[in-house]
């Protein structure tokens, strides 16, 4: 019964990801800051609720947080601290989910068979307390997806506290920069 539910979940998740990828290829501007802002603005009375929900679920679809952070800044220029908090909660929810679901997705066995030396190398790097600094640097650098390091950390069973602390600190600095420098983008 559990395997059937798991298969259904994977199929639905895969179909949704394929659909989003198709939509992105066909119409890339739907993932732009302006489109997201317009979409959220179409729900005038529920803007904050829609923004919170989208910020919390975007990580499940591996959508980067940056457009959502900037959109929050543009929609709520007088509530920047709230935008920062909502963004960080969404990012940390995504990081935690990827960490814990990494094995459920079934890629760990594949990677261990295909790249045993690389997996061992990453295992040794991410098992020490210094791994927090590696995760911090990865999370802070805006050109690489934080989701990847969370996924790898989950696969190799990196201690959760190291992954969580590194992602939190790296993303906090980055998102704070986005929120307070993005505030200059007022349109």
In a domain, 11, yes or no: no
* CA 172-175-53 angle, 5° bins: 100
Distance CA 100, CA 153 (A): 9
Alpha carbon distance 52, 62 (integer Å): 16
User: Is-contact 175 69, C-beta < 8 A?
Assistant: yes
What is the Cα Rg of the chain in Å?
A: 18
Q: pLDDT at position 187, please? A: 47
Q: Which two tokens stand for residue 44?
A: 């005038």
- Does the residue 19 lie in any domain? no
Q: Is residue 12 part of a domain?
A: no
pLDDT at 42: 78
Closest by CA to 135, choosing from 159, 164, 108, is 164
- Which pLDDT value is given to residue 74? 87
Q: Angle between the 131-140 and 116-126 helix axes, to the nearest 10 degrees?
A: 100
Residue 2 is assigned to a structural domain of this protein = no
Is residue 135 in some structural domain? Answer: yes
Residues 6 or more apart in contact with residue 135 via CB below 8 angstroms = 126, 149, 153, 162, 163, 165, 166, 167, 170
Residues in the chain, pLDDT under 70:
1-6, 9-10, 105-112, 183, 185-187
User: Within a domain: residue 43?
Assistant: yes
Domain of residue 160: give its range. 32-185
* 61 occurs within a structural domain: yes
Classify residue 3: in a domain, yes or no. no
Residue 15's pLDDT is 80
Task: Please state the domain count of the chain.
Answer: 1
Residue 166 backbone phi and psi in degrees, to 5: -65, -45
């Amino acid at each position: 019964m559990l395997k059937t539910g798991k298969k259904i979940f994977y199929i639905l998740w895969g179909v949704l990801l394929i659909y989003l990828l198709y939509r992105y290829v066909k119409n890339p501007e739907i993932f732009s800051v302006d489109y997201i802002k317009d979409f959220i603005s179409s729900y005038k009375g529920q803007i904050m609720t829609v923004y919170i929900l989208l910020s919390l679920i975007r990580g499940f679809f591996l959508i980067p947080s940056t457009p959502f952070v900037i959109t929050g800044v543009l929609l709520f220029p007088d509530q920047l601290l709230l935008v920062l908090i909502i963004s960080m909660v969404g990012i940390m929810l995504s990081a935690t989910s990827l960490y814990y679901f990494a094995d459920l997705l079934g890629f760990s066995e594949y990677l261990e068979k295909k790249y045993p030396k690389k997996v061992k190398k990453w295992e040794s790097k991410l098992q020490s307390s210094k791994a927090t600094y590696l995760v911090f640097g990865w999370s802070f650098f805006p050109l690489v997806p934080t989701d990847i390091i969370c996924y790898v950390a989950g696969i190799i069973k990196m201690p959760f506290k190291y992954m969580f602390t590194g992602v939190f600190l790296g993303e906090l600095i980055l998102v704070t920069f986005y929120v307070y420098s993005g505030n200059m983008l007022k349109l």
